[in-house]
């Protein structure tokens, strides 16, 4: 079995986005160890690429494979 680090980031981002989009209809995802591990791995990868994961617009742009705004130019919290 592969480790989470063995999968391409684009695939992991897709899976994370799909899971995150369904959290409100499946609250049990909030307690999922896999979801938590996936988020931690993606946040670590994003941080290594210079993304401020505490800034929602930057984090979301990175997850969506878009160019992230610099923090001082990014729009405010735009939602998930």
- Conformation bin of residue 25: beta by default, left when phi > 0, alpha when psi is -120 to 50: alpha
Average pLDDT for the chain: 87
What pLDDT is stored for residue 30 in this prediction? 86
pLDDT tens for 8-24 read 999 999 999 999 999 99
- pLDDT per residue rounded down to tens, the chain (80 residues): 999 999 999 999 999 999 999 999 998 888 899 999 999 999 999 999 999 999 999 999 999 999 876 656 555 554 44
CB-CB contact of 8 with 41 (8 Å): no
pTM assigned to the model: 0.81
């Amino acid at each position: 079995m592969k480790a989470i680090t063995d999968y391409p980031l684009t695939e992991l981002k897709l899976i994370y986005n799909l899971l995150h989009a369904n959290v409100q209809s499946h609250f049990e995802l909030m307690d999922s160890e896999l979801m938590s591990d996936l988020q931690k791995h993606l946040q670590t990868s994003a941080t290594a690429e210079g993304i401020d994961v505490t800034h929602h617009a930057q984090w979301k742009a990175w997850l969506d494979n878009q160019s992230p705004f610099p923090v001082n130019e990014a729009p405010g919290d735009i939602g998930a």
